[in-house]
Amino acid sequence: MRTIIQAAARGTALTAACLAGLAASPAFAVPTSVLLHPGGALIHEEFSIKPEQDGRTLRFLLPADADPQSIDVTAGKHAISSFSLRDAIAPDAEPELSLKRELEEVRGHIRALEIVGKDAEAYRDLWRHPPVSLGSPAELPALAELTARRLAAFDDGSEARAAKLSALNEREKLLTQRLAEAGGTGFAKEAVLTLEKNASGPVDVRCVYSSANAGWRPLYRLEARPDDGVVELRLDAEIWQRSGRNWKNAELQLATADPRRNMTPPALAAWIARPRPTQPAALARSAGNSMLMDSAPIAAEMAPPSSLAKSSAPHYMDGASYEAWNLGARDVNAGPAMRLPLHREELKATFSYVARPSRTRDAYLAARLDLPAMKHFPAGDAIFLVDGVLAGNSTFSLDTDEGGFADNSIYFGRDPLVTAELKTASQQSGREGFIDRKRTYTWDWTMTITNRHRRPVGVRVEEPAPQSRDKQIILEMHSAPEARREDNTLYWEVTVPEGKSVNISHKVQLSAPADMQVWEGR
């Protein structure tokens, strides 16, 4: 009896010790502010923690994805003598805890149904092949009749069970996906911080670290309204975090770049002049093939917007090395990406069409934006609409370093009601002169610009300007109306009345010495 009481006492003491150890085990701190950028997140955590019995050791948990090289820890006014990290088991937290519980419950139902199915199959096999010995052949008809009755009366519910299993399997797949989106790994990093001197009470700890399990990307919606002379620009942010725990009331900022990168200017490249190695000359490209023309954007569905638990108007901030939007205090749950609005603006625009008849008969709607001040719109996916009709999907940016346009122009795809056709009136080559013989080439084109809209449209027609790479190659051009030149591009700006066409005549003549081998470029 005494032994049992002593064992019970020891067990009670052991249980109390375990519970005390669990109560004193380190826990995750809650992020107080988060700066998201396209490549990850910079997370700030501030909390108060009581030292262990020695008065100098502090323990807390960081997510498993916290970059050890980026961790910066301070302990209020206390000096830190050492800081270390080690792998640890993460305590279950929402939403991971609820998802795991529900997933285990679903898997339990699946196992139970599978056991019932196996039992039913065993019962059926028993009556199909009963383990009995017949005394005489006369007993066989009675056994056959009994087996038939048993099997006919037996309903194993296989169809209903199969339907339930199918639904449960789909539920299991969905929960597994949500658990993966939440990012819970079951592991963490235990931080052990040692102070130089004992602390008499709780210590205020501030920890900053980088994580690749959170970030954001810009999403644009640009709608052209030519009749109103405006482009409506909407900028949304798609944010995500897969830390395995929910962020509650965290100050959230969205930055256009990682503020911890590019701390120093890039090194200058060496300028070395040296003889060029001898190699065969590459074939010259034709002027027509060297022109650039964007293809029509690929259509895709726009992701539906998602709301956050709390909302406040974003505040744009222009920093020294990056730009950011301050969203205020937000609740951001671990899981699927969420979308929230950042910026709305109607930009005045001048609309025209760009046509390049030597490349395509299509004309592309272009809008030149009138920006009162240069704004930084980071490159991102965009959908383009014209008067509410989807024109296509592409990328958007007004930053020339990210593939934007230096003149604040953007394109809204081709317009089937405006066309530009190139017809060859004549194309000739030959030799001229008796003494100073020359090789000659002549091209004569007519470009027809057609407008099927019920309003006049302005069209900028562009063609490559022929270039001479030898002073003996003489080029002459004649156009009606007269062409203008911008760098190596010829252009005509014409207004096409509603339902009408406008013709442009363009003639180019090339002459060179008869003994010169000329690549005419067309």
Encode pLDDT of 140-177 as tens digits: 677 677 777 766 666 667 778 888 888 888 888 887 77
Number of domains into which the chain is organized: 2
Which sign, positive or negative, has the C-alpha torsion 143, 145, 149, 152? positive
Average pLDDT, integer, range 490-514: 92
pLDDT at 251: 93
Residue 456 is assigned to a structural domain of this protein: yes
Alpha-carbon distance of 321 to 391, in angstroms, equals 35
pLDDT at 315: 65
CB 438 within 8 A of CB 481: no
Residue 167 is assigned to a structural domain of this protein: yes
Chosen domain end from 182, 210, 241: 182
CB 321 within 8 A of CB 256: no
Residue 87: is its pLDDT beyond 80? yes
Residue 446: is its pLDDT beyond 90? yes
Residue 2 is assigned to a structural domain of this protein: no
Residue 400 one-letter amino acid: T
H or E segment to which residue 185 belongs: none
Chosen domain end from 115, 150, 182: 182
Phi-psi region of 403 (alpha: psi -120 to 50; beta: other; left: phi over 0): left
Chosen domain end from 182, 210, 245: 182
Residue 322: is its pLDDT beyond 80? no
Q: Write the pLDDT tens digit of every residue in 191-226.
A: 999 999 999 899 999 999 999 889 999 999 999 998
Q: How far is CA 332 from CA 28, 243, 360, in A?
A: 16, 11, 48
In this structure, the number of other CB atoms found within 10 A of the CB of residue 270 comes to 5
Q: Which residue has the higher pLDDT, 336 or 400?
A: 336
CB 181 within 8 A of CB 246: no
The 3-class SS string of 102-132 reads: HHHHHHHHHHHHHHHHHHHHHHHHHHHCCCC
| pLDDT cut 70: percent of the chain above it | 72
pLDDT at 290: 27
CB 208 within 8 A of CB 43: yes
Residue 66: is its pLDDT beyond 50? yes
Phi-psi region of 119 (alpha: psi -120 to 50; beta: other; left: phi over 0): alpha
Residue 444: is its pLDDT beyond 60? yes
Q: Write the pLDDT tens digit of every residue in 345-394.
A: 899 999 999 999 999 999 999 998 887 665 667 788 999 999 988 988 98
pLDDT at 3: 36
Partner residues linked to 330 by β-bridges:
250
pLDDT at 294: 32
Residue 423 is assigned to a structural domain of this protein: yes
Q: Write the pLDDT tens digit of every residue in 326-339.
A: 888 988 888 888 88
pLDDT at 246: 84
CB 223 within 8 A of CB 216: no
pLDDT at 198: 92
Range with the largest mean pLDDT of 267-271, 412-416, 446-450, 464-468:
446-450
Q: Write the pLDDT tens digit of every residue in 105-147.
A: 888 888 888 887 777 777 677 667 777 776 677 766 776 777 7
The CATH number of the domain where 445 resides is what? 2.60.40
3-state secondary structure of 149: helix
Residue 417: is its pLDDT beyond 90? yes
Nearest to residue 371, comparing CAs of 352, 351, 349, 386? 349
Tokens matching residue 110: 């699946």
Which range marks the domain in which residue 489 is found? 417-513
User: In the structure, what pLDDT confidence band is assigned to residue 104 with cuts at 50, 70 and 90?
Assistant: confident
Tokens matching residue 510: 């090339």
Opening angle at CA 392, ends 388 and 395, nearest 5: 115
Tokens matching residue 160: 């209903």
Alpha-carbon distance of 96 to 102, in angstroms, equals 10
**What is the C-alpha end-to-end distance of the chain, expressed in Å?**
109
Q: Write the pLDDT tens digit of every residue in 15-36.
A: 333 333 333 457 677 899 999 9
What does DSSP assign to residue 66? B
CB 349 within 8 A of CB 368: yes
Residue 472 is assigned to a structural domain of this protein: yes
Nearest to residue 253, comparing CAs of 243, 239, 233? 239
Q: Which residues contact 506 (CB under 8 A, 6 or more apart)?
A: 444, 445, 446, 447, 463, 477, 478, 479, 483, 490
Please, what is the angle between helix 96-128 and helix 140-153, to 10°? 160
H or E segment to which residue 159 belongs: helix 158-182
Residue 250 is assigned to a structural domain of this protein: no
Residue 293: is its pLDDT beyond 50? no
3-state secondary structure of 69: helix
Residue 40 is assigned to a structural domain of this protein: no
pTM above 0.85, yes or no: no
Tokens matching residue 443: 């091209």
pLDDT at 272: 65
Average pLDDT, integer, range 83-90: 86
As a whole number, the mean pLDDT across the chain is: 77
pLDDT at 425: 77
Q: How many CA atoms within 13 Å lie on the side-chain side of 417?
A: 14
User: In the structure, what pLDDT confidence band is assigned to residue 2 with cuts at 50, 70 and 90?
Assistant: very low
Q: Which residue has the higher pLDDT, 181 or 448?
A: 448
H or E segment to which residue 285 belongs: none
pLDDT at 13: 38
φ/ψ of residue 52, rounded to 5: -75, -175
Tokens matching residue 70: 């980026």
Least confident of 100-104, 291-295, 322-326: 291-295
Partner residues linked to 339 by β-bridges:
238
Q: How far is CA 211 from CA 75, 90, 106, 180, in A?
A: 21, 17, 32, 17
Residue 56 is assigned to a structural domain of this protein: no
Alpha-carbon distance of 122 to 119, in angstroms, equals 5
